[in-house]
């Protein structure tokens, strides 16, 4: 696996992908241009949920500013292709970029890249060792491997399924991981995988192609 180096600036380049993270509780939610779906979503949220949501959008906005200085893109959720609900992946109006977002127990993580270098990306984060034995045993039953590797493997699988865009509508056991790459069964696309050395206590995985 590529292990990205820790960065004091809370963001790190992994090849052509810029990955960053922030505390979900931080009140650093400067105004970010949001599209209609996100505006409606924000209006329906309060407290921690609202802070978490806005922190994700703020982090994406910061990373996009680092990727393409001077560009102020509008962010919006896409509608779910399955149920038309307002909870699909984030879309960015303007620059030709791909983006990804994940929330994990007090942390928000995001990744951005230009489409000239990266076609798709996804990332996932989990609190390390949360839930302990029972949850790990359930994960092993679902995706194989061992309790020691289950949580990392789960973040890799979710990262791949988010990069694919269908998320958990694809059965997770259909993701095949081989060293630093992964593939969904009967799908020709091959993803690269990286472990991100983010804040202590979290496992973060990135998948991209």
- Which residues would be at the binding site for ligand COA (CB under 6 A)? 53, 56, 77, 80, 82-83, 85, 87-90, 101-103, 122, 124, 158, 161-162, 165, 167-169
CA distance 55 to 108: 7
Minimum CB distance to ligand COA smaller for 12 or for 37: 37
Neighbours of 16 (CB within 10 A): 13
- Our measurement of the distance from residue 191's CA atom to the centroid of its chain's CA atoms, rounded to an integer in Å, reads 14
Alpha carbon distances (Å) from 131 to 70, 107, 135, 169: 43, 17, 6, 24
Minimum CB distance to ligand COA smaller for 12 or for 160: 160
DSSP at 6: P
Minimum CB distance to ligand COA smaller for 4 or for 120: 120
Residue pointed to by tokens 């790190």: 12
Minimum CB distance to ligand COA smaller for 8 or for 10: 10
Q: Minimal distance in Å, beta carbon 102 to ligand COA?
A: 4
CA distance 174 to 135: 20
Give the nearest residue (CB) to ligand COA.
167
Q: Minimal distance in Å, beta carbon 122 to ligand COA?
A: 6
Q: Minimal distance in Å, beta carbon 52 to ligand COA?
A: 8
Q: Minimal distance in Å, beta carbon 89 to ligand COA?
A: 4
Helix (H) or strand (E) holding 103: strand 97-104
């Amino acid at each position: 696996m590529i292990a990205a180096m820790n960065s004091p600036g809370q963001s790190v380049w992994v090849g052509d992908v810029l990955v960053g993270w922030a505390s979900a509780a931080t009140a650093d939610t400067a105004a970010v241009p949001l599209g209609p779906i996100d505006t409606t979503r924000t209006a329906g949220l309060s407290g921690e949920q609202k802070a978490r949501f806005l922190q994700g959008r703020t982090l994406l906005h910061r990373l996009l500013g680092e990727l393409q200085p001077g560009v102020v893109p509008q962010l919006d959720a896409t509608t779910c292709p399955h149920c038309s609900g307002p909870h699909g992946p984030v879309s960015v109006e303007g620059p030709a970029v791909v983006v990804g977002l994940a929330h994990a127990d007090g942390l928000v993580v995001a990744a951005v890249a230009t489409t000239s270098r990266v076609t798709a990306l996804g990332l996932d984060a989990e609190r390390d060792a949360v839930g302990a034995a029972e949850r790990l045993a359930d994960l092993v039953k679902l995706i194989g491997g061992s309790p020691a590797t289950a949580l990392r493997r789960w973040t890799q699988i979710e990262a791949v399924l988010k990069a694919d865009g269908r998320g958990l509508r694809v059965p997770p056991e259909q993701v095949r991981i081989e060293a630093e790459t992964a593939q969904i069964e009967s799908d020709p696309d091959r993803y690269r995988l990286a472990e991100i050395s983010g804040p202590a206590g979290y496992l973060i995985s990135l998948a991209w192609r």
